[in-house]
Amino acid sequence: MLALGTVLYSSCKHDYLEVQTIKADITTDKLYSNYTYVQQQMWNTYSYLPDGFADLDLDAATDEAEATNSVERVQTFNYGTWNQYTNPDDVWAKNFDGIRQANLFLKNKGTIDINYIKDKITSTDSTAYFNARNNVKFMEGEALFLKAYFYFELVKRYGGVPIFEQPLDYKDAASWKNVQRNSVDEVVKYISSLCDKAAAIIPANLSPYSWYDAGRVTQGAIKALKAKALLYGASPLFTSNGSTTTWAMAASALHDVIALGNYSLDANYSNLFGANNTTSGEVIFYRRYGSTNNIEYNNFPIVFQNANGNSITPTENLVSDYEVLVKSGTTITGSVPFDWNNPAHAAAPYANRDPRFATTVTYNGKSFKSTTIETFFGGNSGLPRQNATKTGYYLSKWVNSSIDLINNTTTVHSWIYFRYADILLSYAEAMYNAYGADADPQGYGMTALQAINRVRARSTMPALTAAQLNQTAIEHERNVELSFENNRLWDVRRWKKGTSYFSKPANRIDITGAGVYTVKKLEDRVFTQKMEWYPIPQAEISKTGWTQNPGW
């Protein structure tokens, strides 16, 4: 812990808060009595949040995508060769380290000294002192939220995990010897309680506190985290493992986010994934990376010089899930599922698709940087070119086409943890399962059907009817709206449908220069029921003697 500031600075140098190095020889007591150092420790705690863009490859462990790089870590998931000894997404230690940092602040918050600021006041203006006093209080709310977030990251992977109120040192094996795992139900309730405590500290209106940095925790973020935890808690995987959370409880928590009135759907879906996305009224909580171009180097079509081909490419499984608009002239009259067996669809497979398709996917014939992308065999971005897409598609979402790879230009990127469309779709799911398609017995002001149709309407998709709204429709809408936003891996698991979605072959589109499209199997995928939960790392089992998660 003494060297934490120095160690973590390198890991979060692209984070949204400016982190300064803390001297490694500072004692714990002195560290937490010094206001400046405490602030830096809080910013360091933020660095344990998920690295969204670094984890973009995890979508290739779902039916949404394939990794072009044959040695990408997600291939271990797809081949089914991961286990308690080797897990490419083992975040156990990282999140418990983050929990320790949050607990250190919560334990020592009463020792923080800001009197020196008061002593420096030489006029009647004591603003600096009162700002510092408020900041110390707000940091308590941030610590509670971050701790809840880290527990959410753990419970959705591993199920029940131990709850720590004290800053237990994860690296000290002896301190874990007699620790017991809490139940899934206890962890979900604990996350909810932490969020309630944080929401009582961070005010809903932060406008009077101009010094409170953009990107820090807000009440909207706190309520969104609680709502998402309860959505998971009410889902089949969690309830079948003892969770007592109900769909009605989840719907109530999601309504609390909506009722804040602070968020709205962006009129343009594409705005959410560009350089200015943090200014959108749809974005609730995000991580700012600064100016980078790694995403573009990895995911530009291979026709562009310096594109490295280390891409995460959409599968035909995902592409086929985007509906086809039915039109009378220019008027949209309805929509139907895409079907390769429909001659009209097969003749022009990318025409009149759900507009979210073009934002998410770069496909054969699409213009990208004034270049027509050719993913057919022998095309400028197709096989057999080295590092060309294996699926016949490239990723468009998050990729900024203004980047010039030759001149190494950069642009700001920000990863969205929570956005309003996700809240509405989650609300629709919870309300549907609690009350049906078009009932609102609690007087929330919105039914499940109205919520899902608001999201569809933003992208000019025709409204569903009550008869059309079911669990399958909800799963479809989440897939096309939230693809490549680190949801699919967990949605499918919490629905207990991994053996339906993730064990099917990943498909590609094979295209000839003559424009003949054929769906072909890219690879078989392996997913068994035991994979709904990650295995507890064997090192922890050896230390604690816990029973391993079933099947592992």
pLDDT of residue 8: 34
- Cα–Cα distance between 260 and 487 in angstroms, integer? 24
- Mean pLDDT of all residues belonging to the chain: 93
pLDDT of 5 above 60: no
pLDDT of residue 25: 57
Give yes or no for a contact between 509 and 515, defined as CB atoms under 8 angstroms apart. Answer: no
Can you name the residues that pair with 506 across neighbouring β-strands? 523
Q: What is the mean pLDDT of residues 54-61?
A: 97
- Cα–Cα distance between 15 and 9 in angstroms, integer? 10
pLDDT of 22 above 90: no
Q: What is the mean pLDDT of residues 413-437?
A: 98
Residue pLDDT, tens place only, 221-241:
999 999 999 999 999 999 999
pLDDT of residue 269: 98
pLDDT of 23 above 90: no
Give the confidence band of 87 by pLDDT, cuts at 50, 70, 90. Answer: very high
pLDDT of 19 above 90: no
pLDDT of residue 210: 94
Residue pLDDT, tens place only, 137-148:
999 999 999 999
- Cα–Cα distance between 374 and 367 in angstroms, integer? 10
pLDDT of residue 16: 37
Residue pLDDT, tens place only, 183-208:
999 999 999 999 999 999 999 999 99
Give the confidence band of 254 by pLDDT, cuts at 50, 70, 90. Answer: very high
Residue pLDDT, tens place only, 325-377:
999 999 999 999 999 999 999 999 999 999 999 999 999 999 999 999 999 99
pLDDT of residue 178: 82
Q: What is the mean pLDDT of residues 103-130?
A: 88
For CA atoms 291, 295, 299, 304, give the dihedral sign. Answer: positive
pLDDT of residue 231: 99
- Cα–Cα distance between 110 and 331 in angstroms, integer? 63
Tokens (6 digits) for 539? 């090192």
Of all residues in the chain, the percent with pLDDT exceeding 90 is 87
Q: What is the mean pLDDT of residues 306-332?
A: 97
- Cα–Cα distance between 497 and 509 in angstroms, integer? 25
pLDDT of residue 24: 54
Report strand pairing: 371-372 vs 367-368: antiparallel
For CA atoms 523, 528, 532, 536, give the dihedral sign. Answer: negative
Give yes or no for a contact between 296 and 406, defined as CB atoms under 8 angstroms apart. Answer: no
**ω into 462 cis (within 30 of 0):** no
Give the confidence band of 4 by pLDDT, cuts at 50, 70, 90. Answer: very low
Of all residues in the chain, the percent with pLDDT exceeding 70 is 95
pLDDT of residue 125: 78
DSSP string across 438-504: S--TT--S--HHHHHHHHHHHTTPPPPPTTT-SHHHHHHHHHHHHTTSS-HHHHHHHTT-HHHHTSS
- Cα–Cα distance between 419 and 207 in angstroms, integer? 20
Residue pLDDT, tens place only, 489-544:
999 999 999 999 999 999 999 999 889 999 999 999 999 999 999 999 999 999 88
**Phi, then psi, of 430 in degrees rounded to 5:** -65, -45
Q: What is the mean pLDDT of residues 8-32?
A: 52
Residue pLDDT, tens place only, 427-480:
999 999 999 999 999 999 999 999 999 999 999 999 999 999 999 999 999 999
